[in-house]
Amino acid sequence: MSTDLHPSIVALVSLAANIAANHPKQGLCQIERLKDYGVSREQIDTVIEIARHIRDETAQTLDATFDEACAAHFPRAAKKLAGIAVAESSACCTPTPSGKSCC
């Protein structure tokens, strides 16, 4: 059995990683490759949605952690930071806006 990944899988992973990592080019060069490999627009859209969801969820988690640490150092800042909404979840994975799982 070969361990080589099909180029379309590599392109999908690269696209997702670039979006999730906030890379300035966001993997746009992968979209033409994916179209050439015959990957459907719907599949590409799903990968983009999941990658953005992971990126946004990570940012919210980092913001919440920062707010907690900042409040420990500056108690008055805690009141101001408490007024800024940060989504919290105890689950390791929340669904994307369209209901898809990122896990």
The answer to pTM > 0.85 is no
Mean pLDDT along residues 51-67:
89
Question: Residue 83, class by beta-carbon neighbours within 10 Å (0-12 exposed, 13-18 middle, 19+ buried)?
Answer: exposed
Give the residue, 14 or 88, on which the prediction is more confident.
14
Distance (Å, whole) CA 49 – CA 100 = 9
* pLDDT of amino acid 47: 93
